[in-house]
Amino acid sequence: MDISEVIKKRRSIRKYLSKEVEEEKIRKVLEGARWAPSASNKQPWHFIVVRNSETRKKLADLHSYGRFMAESPVVIIVLGDPSKHQKYHLADPHNAVENMILQACSLGLSTCWIGVRDTDVEDDFKQILVIPSELRVICAVAMGYSDMERESSRVPFDDIVSWESFGNKG
């Protein structure tokens, strides 16, 4: 699939089939994340793949916007590591997540990004997943085969783009 097609096809999905995701596909998704850009190429991220249903349910029960993590066959927890880059360890992992969700879409998988950083559940996620205290839980990404159709609309191009200065439509 052409990258423009993947970008336009990707949707945030919150309902998944009970079908397992093949390990080969999970590895390809993580490989896509691994190649994301980062400040000074420090790559301040780490990923935890959660397939255990009991663990996914515990995470889902904690997060009011992530209840569907219990049904998605895979949840990838994305961590930021300040020891690798003090300034950008909170921002750079998002680049990896974007690569991850686009790679997943190209493989026929669906995802949904769930914010965790700076929420009241970050410490609980750390406890459940035995994450060292110095690392940050950036987000969770639910992943699996979609069990829903979802249309999406976008703001018109000219409403969000200015040329040379704000408000200049070119």
Q: What CATH number has the domain bearing residue 7?
A: 3.40.109.10
Residue 42 lies in a domain: yes
Q: pLDDT per residue over 4-62, tens digit each?
A: 999 999 999 999 999 999 999 999 999 999 999 999 999 999 999 999 999 999 999 99
Q: Look at residue 168 and tell me if it is in a domain.
A: no
pTM: 0.94
> Does 97 map to a domain?
yes
The tens digit of pLDDT for each residue in 96-141 reads: 999 999 999 999 999 999 999 988 999 999 999 999 999 999 999 9
Is residue 152 domain-resident? yes
CB proximity list for 17: less than 8 A, separation 6 or greater: 144, 145, 146, 147
In a domain, 36, yes or no: yes
Provide the domain limits for residue 24. 3-160
Structural element, H or E, at residue 32: helix 23-34
pLDDT in tens, 67-95: 999 999 999 999 999 999 999 999 999 99
Say how far apart CA 40 and CA 115 lie, in whole Å: 25
pLDDT at position 1, please? 74
Domain count, the chain: 1
Output the CA angle 73-153-34, nearest 5 degrees. Answer: 45
